[in-house]
Amino acid sequence: MSRKSTHAKVAGSRHREAPFLPERERYLRNCADSGATPGSLTIKRNELIWIARLLPATAPLGIDIAQLHELVQQRASMHTGITMGTRMIVVARPWLRFLGWWREPTKDLAFQGFLDGYIKWMCDERGFSRSTVDQWQGRIRQFLQWCEETGRDLKGLRPTDIDDYFIRNAARWGRISMKTMTGALRIFLRYAAAHGLCDSRLATALRTPRMYAQESLPSAPGWTDVQRILATTETDKPADIRNRAILMLLSIYGMRRGEVVALRLDQVDWAGRKLHVFRLKRRQPQVYPLLPTVAQALARYIDTVRPHCSAPEIFLRLKAPQRALTPAALFDFVNGKFKALGIETKHRGPHALRHACAARLVAQGLSFKEIGHHLGHRSASATMTYAKVDMRALREVGDFDLGELS
């Protein structure tokens, strides 16, 4: 074997054995698709090996610039050279941003105390889900940042100031985004008024943009497309065995990706043939029959593929470090299935399979109350969007039987 081929073999082995392999490969593929040269990709790949080895297991929770500099110091203790540390930061930061793991430096707001109090109120008093709190926190932070940048004080805020804020963002907000922002801001202003932070009339002065019943359409792929996606997992590959079970939970039970990754081993009642799901939006448990096809897929994965470790979650990474899958990982592999099969739909992630489940239930004549209960909706209005589909086309799917996918 030549020296060149030996070097390539060793480099390939280092790449495969380093932590965060799927995350590195996904990023490198994205760089290649964006036009990165072979030489640039080689540099990135080699740097990412070092970075991955130094990253803590908690990296998916966020890495900031201070932590990144600490990693540089750790590497500097093994190798000298300022340029090496600089190159490491240059490569690491876009990779972490790509994964959603980068924690941007945050400027302290003069209103930070107000925002912290509001977040605590949303969690403790209103019982909002973590995803809702995170979303509204970001929107209100943007608003408070704008107030600070424009020299506005909450106490002196007037309806015309609110109008200015919406006018400034009108170019990048559609009516749906504007409606969401209006709702989030109204609740915050009510909270602020109750605590004497602003005029109580501000919240009532906000007007929600008018929305139309048929303005948005559900993004549901056809059930035949769902069957095509499932068919790609009919192999003996460990990843396919795991992913088949995940796809069934998404498309048959209409689970959200956060609910799938949070599903624990003790939530499967094998003897009673029941599946206990904690619905994120309703914030309460829900019991489903454990259908034979799903039970078979879960049992095959758990018995033959799932790594033996103390993690309570069912779905784990197949390579070290062995921890629960993230919602982002679920999105990536489902989105990849849609792309590989050329399935054209508005959205191509786990939620699209939830929509497909709902659309199939609509096609079979189930009531909105029944469909809403199956999907874990808090209100009937959340289910109404699934009525806006091509009913004739959906009825071509065939008789409804959750237990069969063929």
Q: The dihedral of CA 327, 331, 334, 340: what is its sign?
A: negative
**Annotated catalytic residue, options 27, 191, 253, 386:** 386
Residue 275 backbone dihedrals phi, psi, to 5 degrees: -120, 120
**Annotated catalytic residue, options 281, 317, 337, 348:** 281
Are 88 and 71 in contact by the 8 Å Cβ rule? The answer is: yes
Using CA atoms, how far apart are residues 73 and 80, in angstroms rounded to an integer?
10
- Asked whether the bond before 218 is cis by omega within 30 degrees of 0, the reply is no
**Annotated catalytic residue, options 15, 103, 190, 351:** 351
**Annotated catalytic residue, options 24, 354, 355, 360:** 354
Are 232 and 337 in contact by the 8 Å Cβ rule? The answer is: yes
Which contiguous run of DSSP H or E holds residue 12?
helix 3-17
CA 100 to chain centroid, in Å, comes to 10
Are 226 and 361 in contact by the 8 Å Cβ rule? The answer is: no
Name residue 185's amino acid: L
User: To which residue do tokens 């906000």 refer?
Assistant: 206
Q: Strands, DSSP E only, in 81-179?
A: none
Is 256 tagged catalytic? yes
Alpha helices in 150-174 (DSSP H): 159-169
Is 351 tagged catalytic? yes
Name residue 67's amino acid: Q
Using CA atoms, how far apart are residues 310 and 298, in angstroms rounded to an integer?
18
**Annotated catalytic residue, options 45, 244, 256, 374:** 256
Is 191 tagged catalytic? no
Is 281 tagged catalytic? yes
Angle at 368 between CA 364 and CA 373, to 5 degrees: 100
**Which amino acids are annotated catalytic?**
256, 281, 351, 354, 377, 386
